[in-house]
Amino acid sequence: MMLRRSVVYILVGTVILSSLFVLNFKLNILNNPVEAGLISISFFGVIAIFMFSLSPNLLSSTRKIGSVDKVIFYISITIYTLISIGLIHNYGTDDQEYIMEALSYFMKGQNPYLGLYYPVDARPTYTIYGTVVHNFVYPPLSFLIYLPIALLLSLSKLPLYYSNVVNILFQDALVFLIFRAGLKREDPIATLPVIFLFIIADVEVPGFSGVSASVWGTFLAISYLYDDKRSGIALALANSFSQISWLITPFLLLYKFRTSRGTFFTNLKWFLGTLTGVFLPFMLWSPEAFLHIFTTDLNTIPVGFTGMTLLNFTGIFEVEPWYFTIMMGAIGLFSLYLYYKAFKTLRETLWIYPMLVMWFSWRTLTEYFMIWPMLMFLSVFRLYDFSTVQTNFPEIRLPKKEIGTIFLLLFTVAGSLGVIAHTQYVSQDPLRIVSVSLDSKGSPIYSLNITVENIGKSSTNITLVRVSVPDHLNMVWNYSPNYPIKPGSNATIKAYTDQHALEINGSCITVQVYSSYYISEYKLNLTSINMSTSSNIS
């Protein structure tokens, strides 16, 4: 146990130290000296962790979970919280800005679902038609939960983007819940969840940058941990905050039904009652506008860090958007069927299935996946008793033939529909980029000439131009002129940006031209162009 403790502590300290370096690397330290200084001072918290890992007797000769491990945890979470609050400079995402704007509408007595939105402080989310997403599509609690801090910030005359403090505090709460569940095992591995605080910050889904996944994640953790009415209320609050939590709901309800049947129907009443209490007023306020929360995001430009959408918008295997919706539904139903049939064996695997479903989503942002591994700690702590060595695992009994038949059917349907969706996409794709040339000299690049050919059978319009470099995949540029391109003819457009943040200083550019969800792609190697220009000059 002594060895395990020291290894875990050093691992926690190393991850925190690495994260501090990464954060300072990403941060413009000259323009943000206070924040950089705060990160640098946090180094001494890491030193304290290392000291306790190499000499736990400094705190307690018994080395119980109630002494050393708690100190390590609280040092780690304090470092994260202070750094995170210090790094709040803006909303970070248009989601967070829209949330506060929706709250502003609500406080003025206006329906948030009827308002028009446009981000001022954050970059917008574009649709495949070239417009900016201008309506509010999140459940009511997504903005209602920020009401107290909004009032406090208004009274203090502080910027509303400090509402991100709520996201940070919920991140702390989630990790604390996981840590407390681990305390019962009296094992130092309970401190490992704090690592996720720093990993999440480094992979760019931090609460201080407008990512609120920790809010619904905390509610799900509470729902999982308790078997009384708190479970039903917390699940309803998660569903009232984010649509992503809807993916786990049938699995969590099945889990509660099978593990705590005596209180299940009481919890179900509290779940339905709370959900109705949050949803119904806004549904009655404007039914049509409120139904915008039931969205598949298919009208927005595809963005992804994993999943089927990467194969689609990179041109590896292009399919019609409807394929994503069908596959999400099919994978969700199969996963629920598998979980139901093999519940005794797969009881604690409920957190995996939303990740499988989201792999087939049109947009696979990092925040859609990072919360689930954190929640898996709860299942691990419940599944295993680390105070004893468990060697006798239950025998796996699955209805293999039945599951195999269903899986084969799913695989056949998915493959067949994939071929149909791909064939339909290719046959109807109207655009092909013929050439791309630089319109601006030198660096940075802010203007391009793009020649496009209409290979379709009818006139088509360009709806959006997306210019990307390897570390930035979401740069939408303006373009002109915009007129229908006749079949079999070419058109040259000028794509440009007047935003310094969207200018290019790279060696390789990927240009994508959209006609609704049809995408044509062209890669331009700037290094070869510069070498060719230099040789011509010489």
| The three-state (H, E, C) secondary structure of 396-440, written as one string | CCCCHHHHHHHHHHHHHHHHHHHHHHHHHHHHHCCEEEEEEEECC
DSSP assignments along 45-84, one per residue: HHHHHHHHHH-GGGT-SS--IIIIIHHHHHHHHHHHHHHH
**What single-letter amino acid sits at 461?**
N
| Beta-bridge mates of residue 304 | 364
| Residue 354 maps to a domain | no
320-364 pLDDT, tens digit per residue, is: 999 999 999 999 999 999 999 888 888 889 999 998 999 999 888
Could you tell me the sign of the dihedral formed by the alpha carbons of 398, 399, 400, 405, in that order? negative
39 lies in some domain = no
Distance CA 15, CA 42 (A): 13
pLDDT of residue 532: 45
Order of all β-strands in the sheet with 508-515: 431-438, 447-454, 490-496, 472-480, 464-469, 508-515, 518-525
User: Which pLDDT belongs to residue 21?
Assistant: 66
User: Are the beta carbons of 48 and 163 closer than 8 angstroms?
Assistant: no
| Angle between helices 2-26 and 193-202 in degrees, nearest 10 | 20
Residue 51, domain member (yes or no)? no
The per-residue pLDDT for 288 is 92
- The confidence score (pLDDT) of residue 116 equals 93
pTM of the model: 0.87
Q: What percent of the chain has pLDDT over 70?
A: 84
User: What total number of domains does the chain contain?
Assistant: 1
One digit per residue, the tens of pLDDT, for the chain of length 538 reads 566 666 677 777 777 777 776 666 566 555 566 766 777 777 777 777 667 666 666 555 554 555 677 887 888 888 888 888 888 989 989 999 999 999 999 999 999 999 999 998 888 889 999 899 999 999 999 999 999 999 999 999 999 999 999 999 999 999 899 888 887 776 667 777 777 777 776 555 677 888 899 999 999 999 999 999 999 999 999 999 999 999 999 999 999 999 988 899 999 999 999 999 999 999 999 999 999 898 878 888 887 767 888 888 777 888 999 999 999 999 999 999 999 988 888 888 999 999 899 999 988 887 788 888 888 888 888 876 544 444 444 555 667 788 788 889 889 999 999 999 999 999 999 999 999 988 867 778 889 999 999 999 899 999 999 988 765 556 899 998 888 999 999 999 999 998 887 888 767 888 999 999 999 989 888 765 554 444 444 4
Can you name the residues that pair with 504 across neighbouring β-strands?
A: 445
Give the whole-angstrom CA distance, residue 323 versus residue 176.
40
Note the pLDDT of residue 192.
75
Q: How far, CA to CA in Å, does 182 sit from each of 66, 77, 224, 226, 294?
A: 11, 16, 14, 15, 37
- Is 445 a domain residue? yes
Counted residue by residue, the chain has a size of: 538
Q: CATH number of the domain that 489 lies in?
A: 2.60.40
At residue 297, what are phi and psi to the nearest 5 degrees?
65, 15
pLDDT score at 238: 98
| 455 assigned to some structural domain | yes
Closest CA to 467 of 521, 517, 429, 431: 521
Tokens (6 digits) for 61: 């000769």
Q: Look-up: residue for tokens 């019609």?
A: 320
Q: Is residue 271 part of a domain?
A: no
**pLDDT value at residue 531:** 42
Q: Tell me whether the omega of the peptide bond preceding residue 302 falls within 30 degrees of 0, making it cis.
A: no
| Residue 507 maps to a domain | yes
Q: Which position has the token pair 């962790």? A: 49
Q: Is residue 525 part of a domain?
A: yes
CA distance 406 to 331: 11
> What is the predicted pLDDT for the residue at 62?
52
Residues of the domain holding 521 = 430-532
- pLDDT value, residue 83: 84
